[in-house]
Each structure stands twice: as C-alpha cells, then as structure tokens.
Homo-oligomer: A and B are copies of this chain.
Amino acid sequence: MEKKLTSAILLVEGGALDADLRYLTGFTAPDPVVALAVGSQLSLVVSLLEYGRAVQVVQRGRVLTPQMLGLKGPPAGDVSAWAKALLKQAGIRHVQVARHFPTAVADRLRRHRIRVDVAAGPLCPQRRCKTAAEVQAITQVQRAAVKAMKVAMNVIREAEVDARGFLRHSGKRLTAERVRDWIEHSLLESDCVAPETIVAGNTQGADPHERGYGPLKAGYPIVIDIFPRHRGTGYWGDITRTLIKGRPKPEVARMWQAVAAAQHAALQACKAGVSVKRVHTTAQKILRAHGFETTVKNGWGEGFIHSTGHGVGLDIHESPSLNMASTRLRSGDVVTVEPGLYYKAWGGVRIEDTVLITPGGIKWLARCPLRI
C-alpha cells in the first residue's frame, strides 16, 4: 500500500532518533537534519559529512547540503537557517510540525513570516497501520526478544535455591545484573539493542519502571521486560514475563493468576473495530473480579496503575494507546497487551505480548511460554 502525504510537513532533528524522519526518508543521522515533505515530494538537508550516505539511503527524495542552498555550515545545533533556505527554495510559507518540533526553529521561522502549525495528532498518522514489510520487521525483533526471554527463563530454571531463599547459578548468587547480561548478549547476537531491560525481583517490580538490581529470591515475582530495537530496521519489539522460582507467596500466586487471566481476556477482546477502552476495561474488570483494587495514596499508586498497552513500531510507544479513549483498533495496528498489578508489599506482576490486530482478532508475532 502506498502511503500518501497531503500537506507540507517540516521535520528538524538535532541528532536524536526521530521515527517520523526515518519513516519518511529511511534516513537517520547523528548530525542535524532538516526534511520537508510536500505531498509525496521529499527534500532533505544534511551536513556535508552526511551527504554521501544520505544520497545512497534516500531513494525517493532530493538530498541537499547547506552549501547547495547557498549557506555556509551553521553553528552547532542551529539548523533554522537550513529550514528557512529550504522553505524559500520550495516556495512554502506554511508548514505542519510535530509537537516536539524545536521552539528555537519555530520562533525563527515565524519571525520570517512562515506559518508553523503544530499537528493536532501524530505528524505521520499513516505510521499507525503497519505494512506487511513493517509487520515483518517487528516480527523479526519480537522473535529476538522471545529468544532472549527464553535465555533468561532457562537461567532461572537452572538456578538452585539456597537455605536463605536466594537463587544460585554457576556457583554464585544469581543477580538481576547477571540475568540482564545474558539477555543483552543474546539480543546483540540478533543485532538488537535494549538499553533499558528490566529484571526486577523481590518487591522491586512494585515500581513498573525500576530496572532492578541485586540478588534474586525464590517465591517473589521476577518481572523481566525486554524491549529491544533492531539496529538495521529501527523497529522495536516488547515482551514481559513475570517468573517465580519455587513456591510463590500465596498473594503473589493470586496476583499472577489474575494478571494471566486479564491478559488472556484482553487479547481475546482485541479485534479491528473494537474500542481501546473496551480492551482496557476488560483487563480492569478481571483484575477487580480477582479482588485486586487500584488505589492512590500520598502520590503512590497500587494495583493496575497503567494502560493495557500501546502501539509499537519505529517508536517503542506510539499510537494507539489501549486506555480509556474511544479510539477503535484497526487492522494493521501492532500493539502490546500488558496488564499488571503492583503492590509495595509483594512487588509487581506484568505479562505482555506484542500482537498484530486483524479483522478476526489478533495474530501472534512470536510465541513465548508464560512460565519457567
């Protein structure tokens, strides 16, 4: 499917990873880049350093250097002059930009009477529904994530439990750090990077973003959340399992059963045309039916304190969010389904898979067991 652009879109990147830029141009760079898309016409301004690579990568657009626009190199980090010269050459006086477009550049363009409108939603809404090639790219990285998860599951399965309840492997206490090392070595072999892998044992998982540290204990939930990015394609994958070594504390066992049931029901509810709210409330209801309430006290939340999922693509978090909105799922959405429960006394339990939405329900991108 050819994806069409309908208005002038301006992108400015100062060296960060920008998913819209990569989507539209196929190009990413550590140096500043300015891109202009008018309908399907694409122009890109890159530094002299990037020119050679950009002309090879950008298939359907014009690549320019500041010199070609009659400019000398700008001071570091300031590409307002590139943007201004590019718009002047193209005869464009009105552009749409992303929410995160740099204020410095917007101010400068506006001083030159160029109208800069922030897009109300995503700058490239066409990114949401994935093409077959994109589904393939996400499947590739999701398989790498599952492979790494299985490595972690294997290590925890092989571990022994000492008299004090600590896990031991290869003659040493098994720590979150060592498990993360195994995961990351596995991901490297798949040409993926995962800068923020979570291995949170004991009660650490009660904070859903705690990366985790120190010795792992039997009976407590070990939240392992792997979200790698493939270095070649730039697409992300996302999977979470909550593993328990030995006999779980009774409360932990109940939490795990509730979350597994909620994930199953939420996955069953997913289908093109269904509202994201329906999926989210499905998970909420099951967790409540299992007796788990969500509360906020003194700024701390406990229970099911996040949305049920998010889109995955060139950004790890993108549209649609599976929350209380009225948005409907569409064929071609790739989303995570990841209910969880978080209690300071017991830790966290989260179970997450990334799936493709189809007219009939979901299609798994990669399968992974739920337990060790």
Contacts and interface: CB of A to CB of B under 8 A. Distances in A.
A89 to B, nearest CB: 15
B299 A31 contact: no
B321 A76 contact: yes
A103 B185 CA distance: 39
A49 B105 CA distance: 32
A60 interface: no
A210 B118 CA distance: 33
Contacts of A209: 29-31, 49-50, 53
A137 to B, nearest CB: 17
Contacts of A207: 49, 52-53
Interface in A23-71: 29-31, 48-53, 55, 63-65, 67-68
A68 B14 CA distance: 34
A305 B67 CA distance: 13
Given A48-B296, A209-B29, A100 B99 contact: no
Contacts of A231: 195
A200 to B, nearest CB: 11
Contacts of A77: 99
A67 B301 CA distance: 11
Contacts of A99: 14, 77-78, 102-105
Contact of A101 (B30, B103, B188, B325): B103
A139 B72 CA distance: 36
Contacts of A76: 317, 321, 323
Interface in A305-325: 305-306, 316-317, 321, 323, 325
A256 B76 CA distance: 28
Contacts of A102: 99-103
Nearest to A97: B103
Contacts of A189: 181
Given A52-B207, A53-B207, A196-B30, A299 B68 contact: yes
A68 B316 CA distance: 28
Contacts of A246: none
Interface in A256-307: 296, 299-301, 305-306
Given A97-B103, A103-B103, A195-B231, A208 B118 contact: no
Given A209-B49, A317-B15, A116 B100 contact: no
B48 A301 contact: yes
Interface in A192-241: 193, 195-196, 206-210, 231
A213 B94 CA distance: 41
A228 B104 CA distance: 29
Given A16-B16, A209-B53, A48 B299 contact: yes
A104 B317 CA distance: 19
Contacts of A301: 48-49, 51
A184 interface: yes
A162 interface: no
A305 B100 contact: no
Interface in A126-185: 181, 184-185
Interface of A: 14-16, 29-31, 48-53, 55, 63-65, 67-68, 75-78, 97, 99-107, 116, 118, 181, 184-185, 188-189, 193, 195-196, 206-210, 231, 296, 299-301, 305-306, 316-317, 321, 323, 325
6 contacts: A30-B196, A48-B300, A49-B209, A50-B209, A97-B103, A99-B103
